[in-house]
Amino acid sequence: MSVPSITQHFPFSPEYSTWEDWNGNITIYFGSQPIGITSEDEWQVGATQIMNLAVFASYPVSAPESFDNWQDWASSFTQIVNGPSS
């Protein structure tokens, strides 16, 4: 008997968002997780909190320090969680 896999989907693109909008959406969408709200100046702290959540443990999310800005990290995170688009 096979065990069904659980997949996440995060439908919010950082492309046209502010950090506050994107971080707020992920907090709402995954509200059962302990995601903190951080300012854009502290986006790496918020990104680290997000990537360390158990719900994302099976995803190879890169550390925010590897990115110059939150939009690039959030785009990478979203693509990894959602999978490649068709």
- Residue 36 inside a domain? The answer is yes
- Residue 14 inside a domain? The answer is no
- Residue 61 inside a domain? The answer is yes
- Residue 1 inside a domain? The answer is no
- Residue 10 inside a domain? The answer is no
Q: How confident is the model at residue 78 (pLDDT cuts 50, 70, 90)?
A: confident
How do residues 14-64 score in pLDDT, each as one tens digit? 888 898 888 888 888 777 777 778 889 999 999 998 888 888 888 888 899
pTM: 0.79
Rounded Cα gap, residues 24 and 28, in angstroms: 6
For residue 70, the model assigns a pLDDT of 93
- Residue 7 inside a domain? The answer is no
- Residue 11 inside a domain? The answer is no
**How many separate domains does the chain show?**
1
Containing domain of residue 23, as a range?
19-82
Residue type at 42 in one-letter notation = E
Do the Cβ atoms of 38 and 45 come closer than 8 Å?
yes
- Residue 8 inside a domain? The answer is no
